[in-house]
Chain A
């Protein structure tokens, strides 16, 4: 019963977020100057005034704004995202086609970033100071490098110079390596900074003294005690990154000429393809809600104080 109520509250909050995002997208796009009909027919086409009116009527653009809004929400509730102006196909279908490459990229980048961050954190949090300093410098460079530049550097080196990996091509794992790395490296750098800080902090904790006083080896102290404490803030951050990536990695997809949500978003925005933009925004909202729910579950798995059964009651 309590569980049911919690799940219900969760779903309600999720719906609220998606509704808010969809509404914002709808309103913001009304502010964009220009006639949406141009977007439908292309700016160069010669269209008579009657044809114009017909197109308007077809897309429901001749109705008052509140009616348009309600119709939009109604369709959204039924899972219908409308038809794209430019692609001449339903938005849902267009997004579905692009989802796979984007998910591959996002999940790949998140996993690589997490593994990389974990390895570097453990390797650089020992007693010696120089690995930490070296890693700190590399992290700073990676975080502050724009991703298109990082992508180009990686391409130049591994594809043009060494010829190890393909330049672009959406098939096969090999073509995924460089885009994933381009996304993963800066994320890993941020995660390392957060995790190492957390790990060093945890290692100073009194419970670590107790663990050491039990005769535990240093790796056991880290893996069984300290790392778990360090993982909590990094988890939240990693979830946020995954959310942004699933919403489309615009720059990286363009550099590597990959299909994906990011590219389609860019096209939609520059071509004023309103239904498609709204579709992308709604999709991002859904993705963020889903990812943050997942992060919350994972955080509860790590920290018993966040679980309903063993949690700390709010004071």
Chain B
């Protein structure tokens, strides 16, 4: 944490904005994305802009770069960047600011870096554009930048393409490219979303170092845990307005505005668990015994994705499966779903053989277990409306045609949607609604086991909380067994009774969720737990 200088003596802010309005489009369909925003950012400080998606955070950030888009109308009472009046900027002046004064770390590094160019070239681009170092010195500088953001083997990595890098390295490369021309301000838009807890912690450390070194950081996030780790000040946005603004401690510890409180309540792990689920009884729905799966790697090498995993799942039981990406969670899930044949070991569903039997014999049993995917947008046919998406699942389960509509509505109501959503297409639904439809589809054949693959990691925290509540309700009322896969320990802690930690294809630790969390035995569990943001942990200790 930097030494806090009193407000009066702080030097002129790098960014000083007042009465900023951003509108998209025109006429009756105009969207007023930012309404009268006011904010300042000084060197070495971190200001966090928080709010649900669609609250105008990104539009505000883009307006600071003059990149709100061709259909946007930006009006500002005051827009001063590095002491200059930006309301009078033409394209040339804006270009001088972009990259050189204000760097942007856009959301999702996989798509924010050009996939057709090596990351080294991407990092070199601001250097060449703003000519901050002589052309001959550019390659060396690129390697230096990669080294500075903590990328191992920087010279080699500079020649890699985005798709060859892991999520964490990608994010670092993106940060390096934003830092290249040494801007005084960095805008980081959801810099840790979609990253593993452990990788997330390392990226947060890096951003913290940068602010300590004097960079002004504008952090955009819907994740309050991340905000708490980094920000000096917080501005909460709702429907285009900044509804609350102040030092981080003050805002988070004694929130004044209802939407701040709503965001805080939604942080996973901070909410009380409903009650300890009744001890499960009855015959196991799922028995996995000694599952092994190996894949052929490049040049004939064999990689063990899952190396001998056994577990059982009884009705009404929720088993959390956690681990960093690449630990074998998804392969295990595919074997459970009967989509991948294990090399060794067996899966039994409802006491009958499930693995190593022909698909024809498996088909009848497929109703027993259903998948809730990570990203429902890509798991739905974009041209199908909700009625058809859910109706298809019902028809497969043998529901007669004339009952389809009634049953579809029934399922939608069960997941908190209604008849009015029947003719919507996936793109016209919000992220939370999509995940509800995915749940409705999964419930259509009356399954006894749900396999949930990161079902909430693509959602806003507040929406996340709603979906988790729904899942818990459904599980209790229908007596479902749930295999819940996640890299987010806070979420797992909230919903699961038992947890299994995987690393490199092995289960390194398993047991009741409280035991594993309060007394982790394996380093890997401890690393994952350390990555859980402090707020969530503090809340759990209070409970």
Residues of chain A at the chain B interface (Cβ within 8 Å): 127, 205-207, 209-217, 220, 224-225, 228-229, 302-305, 310, 312-313
For the complex, what is the distance from the CA of A161 to the CA of B185, rounded to whole Å? 65
Q: Could you tell me if B95 and A303 are in contact, using CB atoms closer than 8 angstroms?
A: no
Instruction: List residues of chain B with CB within 8 A of the CB of A303.
Output: 116
Are A207 and B112 in touch, CB under 8 angstroms?
yes
Q: Which of B95, B104, B164 contacts A310 (CB 8 A)?
A: B164
- Decide yes or no whether B111 CB sits under 8 A from chain A: yes
Q: Which of A206, A215, A217 has the most CB of B within 10 A?
A: A215
Q: Are B70 and A211 in contact (CB under 8 A)?
A: no
- Asked if B111 and A207 sit within 8 Å, CB to CB, the answer is yes
Contact digits for B95-109, partner A, Cβ 8 Å, 1 yes 0 no: 111111011101110
In the bound complex, CA of A205 to CA of B67 (Å)? 14
- A214 and B106: CB pair below 8 A? no
* Given known A206-B106, A229-B116, A310-B164, contact A215–B111 (CB-CB < 8 A): no
| Interface stretch (choices B124-132, B470-478, B499-507) | B124-132
The complex places the Cα of A215 from the Cα of B177 at a distance, in Å, of 12
Interface bits B520-536 vs A (CB < 8 Å: 1, else 0): 00000000000000000
Q: How far is the CB of B463 from chain A (nearest CB, A)?
A: 22
Residues of A within 8 A of B112 (CB): 206-207, 209-210
Q: Is B126 in contact with A214, judged by CB distance below 8 angstroms?
A: yes
Let me know if B106 and A215 touch, CB within 8 A: no
Q: How far is the CA of A184 from the CA of B67 in the complex (A)?
A: 38
Min Cβ gap A179→B in Å is: 36
**In-complex Cβ contact of B161 among A224, A228, A304 (8 A):** A304
Closest to A213 in B: B104
Nearest first, the 5 closest Cβ-Cβ pairs linking A and B are A213-B104, A214-B99, A215-B99, A215-B98, A214-B126
Closest A residue, CB atoms, query B70:
A127
**Closest CB in chain A relative to B58 CB, distance in Å:** 10
Pairs across A and B, CB under 8 Å, 12 listed: A206-B111, A207-B111, A209-B67, A209-B104, A209-B112, A213-B65, A213-B67, A214-B99, A214-B129, A215-B130, A304-B118, A305-B115
Bound form: Cα–Cα A215–B67 in Å: 11
Complex contact A210–B113 (CB within 8 A): yes
In the complex, whether B282 has a CB less than 8 A from a CB of chain A is no
Residues 56-100 of B contacting A (Cβ, < 8 Å): 62, 65, 67, 70, 95-100
Inter-chain contacts of A217 with B (CB < 8 A): 95
Apart from the given pairs A214-B99, A302-B116, A312-B163, 6 other A-B contacts in the complex at a CB distance below 8 Å: A210-B122, A213-B106, A213-B178, A214-B180, A215-B181, A224-B117
Residue numbers in A under 8 Å from B117 (CB-CB) = 224-225
- Known A207-B113, A229-B116, A304-B161; contact A216-B106, beta-carbon cutoff 8 A: no
Candidate in A127, A205, A216, A229 with the most chain B CB atoms within 10 angstroms: A216
A-side contacts of B114, CB under 8 Å: 207, 210-211, 225
B95:A213 contact, CB within 8 angstroms: no
Please indicate the chain B residues that have their CB under 8 angstroms from the CB of A127 in the complex: 70
Binding site for A on B (CB under 8 A): 62, 65, 67, 70, 95-100, 102-104, 106-108, 111-118, 122, 125-126, 129-130, 160-161, 163-164, 174, 177-178, 180-181, 298
Q: Are B116 and A216 in contact (CB under 8 A)?
A: no
Q: Which of B65, B111, B116, B125 has the most CB of A within 10 A?
A: B116
Task: Give Cα A47 to B98, complex, Å.
Answer: 87
Q: Min CB distance, B226 to chain A, in Å?
A: 20
User: Are A207 and B115 within 8 A (Cβ)?
Assistant: yes
Contact of B298 with A215 in the complex, beta carbons under 8 Å: no
The chain B residue sitting closest to A214, CB to CB, is B99
For B96, list chain A residues within 8 Å (CB).
215
CA distance A305 to B162 in the complex (A): 10
How close is B119's CB to chain A, nearest CB, in angstroms?
A: 11
In the complex, what's the smallest C-beta–C-beta distance from A245 to chain B, in angstroms? 28
Instruction: Please name all residues of chain B whose beta carbon is closer than 8 Å to the beta carbon of A224 when the two chains form the complex.
Output: 117, 125
CA distance A206 to B118 in the complex (A): 16
Contacting residues, chain B, for A211 (C-beta < 8 A): 114, 125
Chain A residues near B62 (CB-CB < 8 A) = 209
Contact (Cβ within 8 A) B67 A214: no
A173 to B181 alpha-carbon distance, docked (Å) = 51
* Closest CB in chain B relative to A174 CB, distance in Å: 40
Q: In whole Å, how far is B67's beta carbon from the nearest beta carbon of chain A? A: 6
> Do A212 and B177 have beta carbons less than 8 Å apart?
no
CB atoms of B116 and A212 under 8 A apart: no
- Chain B residues positioned under 8 Å from A206 (CB to CB): 106-108, 111-112
Write the nearest CB–CB distance from B46 to chain A, whole angstroms.
Answer: 19
CB pair B298 A216 closer than 8 Å: no
- Knowing A207-B115, A228-B116, say if A213 contacts B99 (CB, 8 Å): yes
Taking CB atoms, residues of chain A closer than 8 Å to B111 are: 205-207
CA distance in complex: A211, B125 (Å): 8
Instruction: Please measure, in the bound complex, the distance between the C-alpha atom of A216 and the C-alpha atom of B67, giving whole angstroms.
Output: 12
Q: How far is the CB of A224 from chain B (nearest CB, A)?
A: 8
Q: Whole-angstrom distance from the CB of A110 to the nearest CB of chain B?
A: 23
B106/A310 in contact, CB under 8 A? no
- If A206-B112, A305-B163 touch, whether A216 touches B95 (CB-CB below 8 Å) is yes
Q: Which residues of A contact B103 (CB under 8 A)?
A: 213
Minimal beta-carbon separation of A296 from chain B (angstroms): 16
Q: Which one, B95, B160, B161, contacts A215 given CB within 8 A?
A: B95
Picked from B97, B129, B160, the residue with its CB within 8 Å of the CB of A216 is B129
Give chain B residues whose Cβ lies under 8 Å from the Cβ of A209: 62, 67, 104, 106, 112
Could you say which residues of chain A place their CB within 8 Å of the CB of B177?
210, 214
- Asked if A210 meets B104 with Cβ closer than 8 Å, knowing A215-B98, A302-B116, A303-B116, the reply is yes
A313 to chain B: closest CB distance in Å?
7
Please name the residue on chain B nearest to A229 by beta carbon.
B116
A313/B98 in contact, CB under 8 A: no
Contacts of B65 in A (CB 8 A): 212-213
Q: How far is the CB of A312 from chain B (nearest CB, A)?
A: 6
* A209–B130 CA distance with the chains assembled, in angstroms: 17
B67, A212: Cβ atoms closer than 8 Å:
yes
In the complex, A293 Cα to B118 Cα: how many Å?
Answer: 25
Q: Is there contact, CB below 8 Å, between B97 and A215? A: yes
State the Cβ distance, A130 to closest chain B Cβ, in Å. Answer: 15
B residues in contact with A213, CB < 8 Å: 65, 67, 98-99, 102-104, 106, 178
- CA A207 to CA B181, docked complex, whole Å: 18
A212: which B residues are within 8 A, CB to CB? 65, 67, 98
Most buried by B among A302, A303, A310: A310
Are A305 and B95 in contact, CB atoms less than 8 angstroms apart?
no
Would you give the shortest CB distance from B74 to chain A, in whole angstroms? 15
* Cβ-neighbour of A313 out of B67, B102, B113, B298 (below 8 A): B298
Question: Assuming A209-B112, A304-B116, is B98 touching A214 (CB within 8 A)?
Answer: yes
- A148–chain B nearest beta-carbon distance, Å: 40
Q: Are A210 and B106 in contact (CB under 8 A)?
A: yes
Closest to B67 in A: A212
